[in-house]
Structure 1
């Protein structure tokens, strides 16, 4: 990066094209599990990636889900992202991609379609991308069930991993993330007429309510920032029937693996409260925490690149949400997250991206990648790339 200001200028000239691409990508809806839409979105991205990397991706299809991989023979750095969103198909009709001033809105604009646009913009600014791998998955929002082994395999053969998830609203990159667990508690009771013979039933709704109240004590008992949150609830069939079945999903987040283990033991130790009720627990620990130690050399490098570009100083943030970066960091691979768009409101109708930051974050990523693909790059110093 001999001419950092020239790099920033080149990124600024890409702004109009990047905004147009962001609109096209947001409009290409990609709800979890919606195969035709995920395939169409993958087709769009495959073309963009091939253009800048000058090599075609391998489409890794698992259970019908299309993940895109541009691997490198000598993979100094892996750029990691996902193109699925949490929003159901049809959301774009009520909330189309919109630009007002410097703010862009639309479903998935921040988490994380702008990060993908920036990723390809940055790669277009790099003369030699032969040591850069790119992996875009399509099931991150549903737990990365089909892509996890692919992510871990590519991370293990990389010197470093840069995750293009969104930055914090004030532009911070993410050096630490909580780990997460997902559970489903299912209760089997017995149906009965709610008006004439309620005593003959075993009320699954009442049983699951007992466990919801117990779950709420698991995070209150700890002063470590652990959260245990009942989320999706389902019970009953009609208003005049004692419910014979009920279930609740549970989201757990913690800064340490020990806390995840503590909550896991507690949830698996739950016993039925009502006589004859049957309780089943499915799920478990999904992602271990992302430790800041592995991110520190990469943060230092990114801060130096930012200073040379003349853009605002970077800070390293600790955030509660998990990402696929948790998987790569758990393997001991240097990982820096939050190199995507500056924005906020992820998973809500208020999701937005600040377009004024689009060029500078693109230049930042290009500068970091360029540094990592030189002989003195962090990836080579750490020796994590497998032969």
Structure 2
């Protein structure tokens, strides 16, 4: 199914990645300097144009490309480069270019100091999650091409709405994954480990509808939506079961019209993470069963399960084994895998029963936090790893 290069070829690939590492880091910083908040459509459009331009600069014009309008979300772009081997396989490289950071964050960003052991760090909004992975993926194909080895067809899929649930890009991702033989998601690693299991996510909106009244003249006539929703939120937190991998976090709460009015409406945004479909069912049932003390207030729950749980499915097991073989050939001691609480677009692919590896990108830490950073000394090895895997997928991994 796959062909292993000679040790000399693997060594040459890692050496070349080390040689061009400063250029890869320059490309990473170029992407970071263009802010791409999930909610800034003009910024996203500019960021995607920049990403496409960078890809074409490094790889030439694609054999096929398509831009899918995102509506209220960032657009999704696919760029396909034809393979060079006989009966070449097809690899999908997925990465999102949107970030959680509001536009303007970059101006006040403080660069991190070196780590305790003196290792250099580079910081910036989205540098870890996941602009480093984007640049490394582009360079991985470039280095694989330079090696002269036969290569699979490679499709890049860049989406601009992953941080808000991939609401527009999900069907594009699923269709592209079904056309490919394997999918590699360029999300950051977990301290160097690839991610083979991720929690499923729910993005629930809870609305409380009460009765407005004057807070001083006739408070007894009112039924506070804020009070009722507060009761609901406290009760919902008790539905969490960390020992089963289920967490519940109310991250947004809004309500009321004025300080002297008993609130007629309130809403809450609730983030739910589960490790199994059974927990999805339990959470749904127990949230629906919550009662608030004032029967005049109506509670409506939008059960929006966004991503299914991801596990290491049978189709992905040989892909993990292949990546580990490549890592050993390139001089690594090991390539660990792990389960994480966050979700990604890999969840969609795994749920289809297709082969996928996630966390093929940056090594660093601090996703979604002001301390977000990468270790630039890991950029060559991570880029070479993806390039090496591409070189081993000259034939389909699955039938």
Aligned equivalent of 2:97, options 68, 78, 83: 83
Aligned equivalent of 1:92, options 87, 106, 115: 106
Aligned equivalent of 2:347, options 305, 308, 326: 326
What secondary structure is seen at the aligned counterpart in 1 of 2:183? strand
Q: Tell me if 1:125 matches 2:143.
A: yes
* Structure 2: distance between partners of 1:336 and 1:305: 14
Q: Tell me if 1:233 matches 2:253.
A: yes
TM-score, normalised with respect to structure 1: 0.92
Q: Tell me if 1:361 matches 2:351.
A: no
Deviation at 1:197, TM superposition (A): 2.1
Q: Tell me if 1:106 matches 2:106.
A: no
What secondary structure is seen at the aligned counterpart in 2 of 1:332? coil
Aligned equivalent of 1:248, options 249, 256, 268: 268
Q: Tell me if 1:136 matches 2:142.
A: no
The one-character-per-residue Cα deviations of 1:276-304 (angstroms, maximum 9, x if unpaired) are 21222124211111111343211211111
What secondary structure is seen at the aligned counterpart in 1 of 2:53? helix
* Structure 1: distance between partners of 2:309 and 2:15: 37
Match for residue 168 of structure 1? 190
Match for residue 31 of structure 2? 25
289-298 or 26-35: bigger deviation: 289-298
What secondary structure is seen at the aligned counterpart in 2 of 1:382? coil
139-148 or 242-251: bigger deviation: 242-251
Q: What are the residue-to-residue correspondences of 1:219-230 with 2, within 5 Å?
A: 219-220=240-241, 223-230=243-250
Match for residue 115 of structure 1? 133
Deviation at 1:261, TM superposition (A): 1.9
Match for residue 66 of structure 2? 58
Contact between 1:302 and 1:364, CA under 8 Å: does it hold in 2? yes
| Residues matched between the structures, number | 376
* Structure 1: distance between partners of 2:211 and 2:19: 66
Structure 2, unmatched stretches of 5+, are 83-87
Structure 1, unmatched stretches of 5+, are none
Aligned equivalent of 1:148, options 160, 163, 170: 170
Aligned equivalent of 2:282, options 248, 262, 283: 262
* Structure 2: distance between partners of 1:19 and 1:175: 27
Deviation at 1:130, TM superposition (A): 5.5
**What RMSD in Å do the two structures reach over aligned CA positions?**
1.9
* Structure 2: distance between partners of 1:148 and 1:17: 32
